[in-house]
Structure 1
Amino acid sequence: MKTKLNKFLLLFLVVGAFSCKKDTVEPTTTATVNSPNAAANSWVYDQMKEWYLWSDKMPAKDKTDLTLVTGKDGEADIKSHYFYSLLNDYPNTDRFSWIRENITDLTASLSGISTSFGFSRTAVYLDNTQTNVAFFISNVILGSPAEKAGLKRGDIILTINGTQINGTNFATLIANNETATFGLGELKNGSYVLSGKTITATKGVVQNNPIQFSKVIEKGNKKIGYLVYTQFLETYDDQLKQVFGQFKAAGVNELVLDLRTNGGGRISSADLISSLVVKNLNTNNVIHQDEWNATIKAKYPSVATPTKFSNQPNNLNLSRLFVLTSNGTASASELVINSLRPYMDVIIVGQNTYGKNVGSITISDETKPARWTWGMQPIVLRTVNSKGESAYGTKTGFTPDYIVSDNVYPFKPWGDESETLLKKALEVITGVVVPAEASVTANRSYRTMDKSAILEEHISDNPADNRKDMFVTLPK
């Protein structure tokens, strides 16, 4: 997005972390002086007090325990760690701020880089005993070890290195193996059984290409652009413009934007999509405005400057937009929905979104050499659209216009017109019922699973990639 601030980001991405150095207030008590955590915690407090959106809700520093562990993301006792002890009503009002021990890992994950197999899956119990579990592959990153090994959306994994996936080990089997042999399954006579086929892959450094799939679907007088976009990454903005150029050249007059696996990304890329879609593009119109705490507003008056649409030659000038969503559709994805609603119809198909209307910055220690390697992502702003609306920041997010469960397994290929959510969008657009089976999937068997059997949906094999966050660079 164009803005008089530095470019905004929404989880998962950042091209560079913001470093911040402040004088550390020395601890005074003997116990605190002797604590190995005191200096880092004092620094954490000072940064939070300046930048945190809810800084007025923070306790006084002398009322905090500087001897606590600074903060180890993902541990069971996370609430007892110092960073999390400062958060406003964690994990309710603020369920988004986070910290990692390694700033390099943090910035890499925000840039779409991970060490992983490179796939996402939905984990589902296979029977009423809730014992055995199947991984239904919902997405495979282009160029990832998983894709190179032959794994694809629609595959079913029943075993890993010969071990049956179950309700106890489903979260750890992948994490504990650098190389894995996946035993694939198939549906036979109403049950999922091993097919005899296996795929072996080794984790590697993966760069997410968020433009996962695109095509033009022609139905009568409708030319429907379909785009699966998995993360808002600025490094792929030019390719995104090219896709919209192809849509425009094809005469696309409807668009289905599939964001069901998109947990966020750079706000500027979200604003780019809004500028490529919006009807009657006007660069004087506001996309959104951001609210900061009083200290930052006084220090950086430019944060009051609203973000406006940018001139995009490939703008489709659409009267409406269809967005496919899941509970993991978050941050920048929700920003697109909220930003466009004052200007056009945004029709949501799928499930309630994640519910995140706040953003963070990346803070690290800039001392040379750095005193510690912590990287923080505290919430620092709240976004509102041109009408001042921002009511989706709850755990229910946006409620779809058409509630459709993504619970037909295995998943059909991207672009299959009978695929659950796309099928509904096409029917609303055309008014014509799409056949239950398209030719590309006619020879496979499918099963609708009860929502209660689903353990987790669209989860990456690298846990760091599952965050839903919104963040910005330092304002000027």
Structure 2
Amino acid sequence: MKLRLFLPVILLAAFVLSCKEKNADPKNDTETNQWIYTNMKYWYYWTDHITGSPDYNKTPGDFFNSLLYKYDATTRPDGDRFSWMQESAKELEASLGGESKTSGMEYKLVYFPANTSNIVGIVLYVIPGSPAAKAGFVRGDVFSSVNGQKMTDSNYSKLLNTEDKTTYTLADIKDGTLKETTTTRDVTPIVLQEDPVFFDSVYTIGASKIGYVVYHQFIPEPFQANNQAYDKKLDAIFAKFKANSINALVLDLRYNPGGYVSSATNLSSLIGKVTANDIFYYKEYNKQVTETSLKKYGESYFYDKFVTKSQNVGSDLKNLVVLVSSRTASASELLINGLKPFMNVTLVGGKTVGKNVGSVTISDEKNGIKVGLQPIVSKSLNKDKKSDYHVGFEPDVKASEGNILYPYGDPRDPLLGEALFQITGTHVTRQGRNARVLAEEASAELSSSISRKAGGSNMFFDR
């Protein structure tokens, strides 16, 4: 059986959740459901709420959902918003490692004009070398029709939820008006590995030397690699920041739905004024896991410390500004919460998701189980034992990127421009609209493709 916890707990599976060796033939639904129940009953954070008489006749997906202590704003405000199951364990594990079948284009969907049923897509970013990049898509592009049909709130899901070749018709937004064009671009998804370390730059504004880095997902390395390539890429960027003697940092997590704790620990250790003796975060499990792990591993099992990084810039930082949005979740929020006891963290953007809990990947392909589970198993707290962001972090400065998007690193970007203003007290550019004005004028967002990335805001798992 495979339990992707990537911490000493991985050894726990051997004596707590042992699996009988059977044929590698796929299990029928009843056997799969029994496997699901055994693992959920042990690991699930809300295990006390799991029924003692489950209905094994359900399909695995329905069975898994029947076990969850589901969130309800009125009756279960402490409930589960984030556990999920995927029919293919292989696809689950690949997506958590940044590999998926994709066009390489992430976008948001907004009502435009406002107060209508019309939908437009606005490209957030494009993976270099992807089909979307080769087709000519760039950040800020707008599309209003897919396969010849104008998007509305009743058809957008069917039009966009496909792995086949898709034809996008571009449009322009100018002075609050949408102008259709005849330009089309064809894109066919492929299996693609995304590098989450997307962009970096250094700004010199008066006495301020400001590092800027865009990070899209907490992934240490490409799927099935074992080289920490992406963590090392961040190390190299921070070594450059240190060589440039930066005294302020803008960390762009606006599109980062989370990822591996190991990468969150690595990045936090590059930023914070911390030592290897300082606690990054504490983990709270259910009673069964707590008792078993305490006996087996001791108290150190329940916390992670920062690590020593020669590239750390924490002692030189006067300002840390984190760009956030409604897509910022999980490991991104863990980093924010973990650094707060050690330094002032200024948040610019929108309210974050509010995921102060963690999950593990549980699979058993060796014994014929096809599905993969990603249940919530723990709650996270910082050094001061605070975990009060279950409803999301409110930004210190509310700002919206709006519908007209600028390239990464361009100070006309309302979020970056506001961050630079918070650091320097100076508006770097007077072009564009004020971030606070944009926050009020932005069209209502329906959803984004980022919500599909490895469970979207469901992402936060130990490694």
TM-score, with length taken from structure 2:
0.86
The structure 1 residue matched to 2:400, chosen from 383, 402, 405, is 405
> What is the RMSD of the two structures over their aligned residues, measured on CA atoms?
2.6
| CA separation of 1:50 and 1:448: change in aligned 2, threshold 3 A | closer
Residue 273 of structure 1 aligns with which residue? 267
Residue 68 of structure 1 aligns with which residue? 58
Q: 1:414 is matched by which residue type in structure 2? A: Y
Partner of 2:201: helix, strand, or coil? strand
Separation of aligned partners in 2, 1:384 and 1:257 = 21
Q: Which runs of 5+ in 1 are unaligned?
A: 10-17, 25-34, 72-80
Indicate if the aligned counterparts of 1:365 and 1:372 stay in contact, CA closer than 8 A.
yes
Q: CA deviation at 1:320?
A: 3.4
| CA separation of 1:47 and 1:188: change in aligned 2, threshold 3 A | closer
Q: Which has the higher contact order (CA 8 A, sep 6+)?
A: 1
Q: 2:42 is matched by which residue type in structure 1? A: E
The question of 1:82 aligning with 2:63 is answered yes
What percent identity do the matched residue pairs reach?
38
The question of 1:315 aligning with 2:312 is answered yes
Aligned ranges 1:241-280 → 2 under 5 Å? 241-279=235-273
Indicate if the aligned counterparts of 1:158 and 1:183 stay in contact, CA closer than 8 A.
yes
The structure 1 residue matched to 2:205, chosen from 199, 219, 229, is 219
Question: Counting helix residues as a fraction of each chain, which structure ranks higher?
Answer: 2
Indicate if the aligned counterparts of 2:324 and 2:347 stay in contact, CA closer than 8 A.
yes
Residue 353 of structure 1 aligns with which residue? 352
Separation of aligned partners in 2, 1:183 and 1:135 = 10
The question of 1:453 aligning with 2:419 is answered no
Indicate if the aligned counterparts of 2:255 and 2:450 stay in contact, CA closer than 8 A.
no
Q: CA deviation at 1:199?
A: 2.0
Residue 77 of structure 1 aligns with which residue? none
Residue 378 of structure 1 aligns with which residue? 375
Q: Which runs of 5+ in 2 are unaligned?
A: 21-26, 222-229
Indicate if the aligned counterparts of 1:116 and 1:462 stay in contact, CA closer than 8 A.
no
Q: CA deviation at 1:21?
A: 5.4
Q: 2:353 is matched by which residue type in structure 1? A: Y
The structure 2 residue matched to 1:143, chosen from 117, 122, 129, is 129
Separation of aligned partners in 2, 1:190 and 1:403 = 21
Indicate if the aligned counterparts of 2:400 and 2:439 stay in contact, CA closer than 8 A.
no
Indicate if the aligned counterparts of 2:380 and 2:387 stay in contact, CA closer than 8 A.
yes
Report how many residues are paired: 428
Residue 99 of structure 1 aligns with which residue? 85
Separation of aligned partners in 1, 2:423 and 2:252 = 15
Q: CA deviation at 1:127?
A: 2.1
Partner of 2:358: helix, strand, or coil? strand
Separation of aligned partners in 2, 1:51 and 1:129 = 44
The structure 2 residue matched to 1:178, chosen from 157, 164, 184, is 164
Q: 2:260 is matched by which residue type in structure 1? A: R
Separation of aligned partners in 2, 1:387 and 1:288 = 9
Residue 327 of structure 1 aligns with which residue? 326
Residue 59 of structure 1 aligns with which residue? 51
CA offsets, 1:447-475, max 9 Å, x none? 8884563212x4249565634321225xx
Partner of 1:171: helix, strand, or coil? helix
Q: 2:102 is matched by which residue type in structure 1? A: S
